[in-house]
Amino acid sequence: MRDRYPLLRYTTGAALARTGDEMAGPALLLAGLAATGSSATASALLAASTAAAAVGGPVLGALLDRSARPGRLLAWSVAGYAASLLAVAVCLGRAPAAVPLLIAAGSGLLAPALSGGWTAQLPGVVERAALPRATALDAMTFHAAALAGPALTAAVAVAYGSGPAVVAAAALLALAAPAAPGTFRPRSSGPADPSACATPGTCGPATPAPSGPVAAPGTSQPAAPAPSDPAAPVPRSRRLTADVGAGFRALAGAPVLGRVTAASVVSCAGQGVLVACTPLLGERHLGGAGYGALLLAVVAAAALVGNALLARLSGAPAPEAVFRAATLLQGAALLLAAAAGHPAVLLAAVVLAGLGEGPQLTALFAVRHREAPDRLRAQVFTTGASLKISGFALGAAVAGPLADASLPGALLGAAAVQLVAVAVSAPAGPSRSGRSTGPRRPRERAGRTRGTPGPAGRPAHRPARAPQRSAGRSSYRDAGGAP
C-alpha cells in the first residue's frame, strides 16, 4: 500500500526519535548518579556515549550508502539504540561499572542515525521543489526535541524515578523505528523518469546481472566494465575503510561544502561554551544554577520560531548567506550575554542566539543536500554530524576552566569563535588590488564597421586596402625586388 503522507511520517518519526535522544543524555546522568552515587560515573556514561557518536558517524554513513534499503538499516539502528539504553538501565548498580560504560559507548555508535542518517534520506521522501521547506521542517524537529526532551526527562524522573526516565527515552525511540522503512523508498537501479526509456517495455523489472565478467560480442575476451553510476549504491565489494575515506574526501573536495562544514564545527564549539556557561548564568542573573536549563529551553523555542519564519519566506536567500548571517547573529548574542547586567538583557541574548541557531542548521542541511553526491549523501551527513559533536564537546570542555576564571571572558571567547566561523564560511574574495582572481573571459576584438563615424574631428573609419602585388614577383619581395 502506497504511503500518501511520506513527509508527515518522516517528520513524526524524526521528532519521536530525536526527542528520545534528547531524553537519553539527562536520563543517563540521573540514573548513573542514583545507582552509583558518583557524579564521575554519571558523567562518564554521557561522555562515553558522546565520544562513540563522534566515531560511529562516518562508519554508519558508509553502511547506509552501501545498503540497497537504507531505511531498513536505519530502523534497526534506532531499535538497537533503544535496546542499548534499556541494557544500561538494567546493568546500573547490578554489574561492574565497566559494563554499563561499554553498553553506553555502543549506543553512542548508533546515535548518528537519528541526526545525519535520518536527514540524509529526505531527498527520497519529497520532490526536489519541496526540499527547502521539508529541510526547514526537519531542522525544526531538532529544536523541538531539544525543548521537549529535557522537560520530559525531568517530569518522569520527578514522578517515577531516574530508571523509568531511561525507559521512557527508549520507548520513544522504539516508537520511531517503524517509521523509517515505511517512509524511505528503496533505491532503484532503473531510470526515475519513464521518458528516459529508449523503447516501450524496457523499463520493466531489471534482469539480474551475471556474476562473472561478460564477454565482448564476437570475442572470448571480457568486455570493459561499464562506468559506474554516481547515483547508484556503493558496491559492497569495496572495503568499508575506503568508503569512510570517500566521505571525508567528499567533504574536503567540494569547496562550498567543505567551508560550511568547517564553519559549522567551529560554530558548534562556541555553542558548547554557551551551554556550559548556562548554569553559571542562571546562578548569577536568575537566582539559581537550576534556572540555567530554562535558558536552554528559551534557545530551543527561539530556534523553532526562527525556522518557522525562514520556512515562510517565499524568496529566501542562498543557504550560504543564511548560514553566515545566522552565525553572525549568534556572535552578537554572545557579546550581549557577556555584557548582560539584568535578567531581561540575558533573556534577549539567548533569544537572539536561538533565532540564529535555528536558521543556521536549516542552511547547513540545505548546503549538504545540494552539494553532497548521491552515493555519498549519508556519509556526508553522518560525518558532518560527528565533526559537529566533536566541536561541541571541545567547546564545552574548554568553557569550564574559562568560566571559573571569568564568565564574561568565556562568553567573549565564544563570540570570537563565532566570528571565526563566519570568516571560515566566507567564499574566496578578490585579490588585494580589488580585481577578481578568477579566469578572465577572452575579450572580443572591438572595431567599427565600414562607414561608421569615428571620434570627433576624425574621418570615418575605412578599412585599409590590401597592397596590390605585381605579377611575376615573389610574395616576399617589395616593389623594388629586394627581399
User: 74 vs 418, which has greater pLDDT?
Assistant: 418
Average pLDDT, whole number, for the chain? 74
Q: What is the pLDDT of residue 172?
A: 93
Exposure class string for 357-395: b at 16+ Cβ within 10 A, else e: bbbbbbbbbbbbbbbbbebbbbbbbbbbbbbbbbbbbeb
**How many helices (H) and strands (E) are present in the chain, helices listed first?**
15, 0
Residue type, 221: Q
Nearest to 373 by CA among 251, 225, 256: 251
Residue type, 242: A
Mean pLDDT across the stretch 194-202? Answer: 38
Whether the predicted pLDDT of 467 surpasses 80: no
Q: What is the pLDDT of residue 228?
A: 41
Q: What is the pLDDT of residue 83?
A: 93
Question: Do the Cβ atoms of 121 and 69 come closer than 8 Å?
Answer: no
% of the chain with per-residue pLDDT over 90: 15
Q: What is the pLDDT of residue 348?
A: 93
Confidence of residue 23 (pLDDT cuts 50, 70, 90): confident
Whether the predicted pLDDT of 92 surpasses 80: yes
Q: What is the pLDDT of residue 217?
A: 44
Nearest to 274 by CA among 144, 147, 435, 417: 417
User: 170 vs 146, which has greater pLDDT?
Assistant: 170
Q: Where are the alpha helices (DSSP H) in 37-69?
A: 39-66
- Contacts of 256 by beta carbon, 8 Å cutoff, 6+ apart: 320, 367, 371, 427
Q: Give me Rg for the CA atoms of the chain.
A: 30
- Contacts of 38 by beta carbon, 8 Å cutoff, 6+ apart: 32
Whether the predicted pLDDT of 380 surpasses 70: yes
User: 210 vs 35, which has greater pLDDT?
Assistant: 35
What are the E-state strand segments in 263-366? none
Mean pLDDT across the stretch 431-457? Answer: 47
CA–CA distance, 303 with 355 (Å, rounded to integer): 5
Q: Report the half-sphere exposure of 71 (CA within 13 A, side-chain side).
A: 21
Give the Cβ contact number of residue 224 at 10 Å: 9
327: cell is 552565525
Confidence of residue 327 (pLDDT cuts 50, 70, 90): very high
Confidence of residue 198 (pLDDT cuts 50, 70, 90): very low
| Tens of pLDDT, residues 314-326 | 666 788 899 999 9
Cell 531538532, residue? 142
Q: What is the pLDDT of residue 163?
A: 87
Q: Report the half-sphere exposure of 256 (CA within 13 A, side-chain side).
A: 16
| Tens of pLDDT, residues 412-442 | 999 999 999 999 988 865 433 334 434 444 4
- Ranking 12-26, 102-116, 263-277, 295-309 by mean pLDDT, the lowest is 102-116
Q: What is the pLDDT of residue 329?
A: 95
Cell 541574548, residue? 349
- Ranking 196-210, 275-289, 460-474 by mean pLDDT, the lowest is 196-210
- Tell whether pTM > 0.75: no
Cell 577572452, residue? 442
User: 114 vs 90, which has greater pLDDT?
Assistant: 90
Q: How many residues does the chain have?
A: 483
Whether the predicted pLDDT of 156 surpasses 60: yes
Confidence of residue 243 (pLDDT cuts 50, 70, 90): low
Q: What is the pLDDT of residue 420?
A: 95
Q: What is the pLDDT of residue 241?
A: 65
CA–CA distance, 279 with 286 (Å, rounded to integer): 10
Mean pLDDT across the stretch 245-250? Answer: 68
Identify the bridge partners of residue 222 per DSSP, sorted by sequence position.
215
The highest-confidence range among 64-68, 230-234, 298-302, by mean pLDDT, is: 298-302
| Tens of pLDDT, residues 121-146 | 787 788 878 887 888 888 888 888 88
3-state secondary structure of 450: coil
Q: What is the pLDDT of residue 314?
A: 65
- Contacts of 88 by beta carbon, 8 Å cutoff, 6+ apart: 28, 31, 45, 100, 103, 104, 107, 166
CA–CA distance, 283 with 277 (Å, rounded to integer): 10
Q: What is the pLDDT of residue 440?
A: 46
316: cell is 529566501
Q: Report the half-sphere exposure of 377 (CA within 13 A, side-chain side).
A: 24
Q: Where are the alpha helices (DSSP H) in 92-161?
A: 98-110, 116-119, 131-160
- Contacts of 49 by beta carbon, 8 Å cutoff, 6+ apart: 24, 25, 28, 104, 105, 107, 108, 111
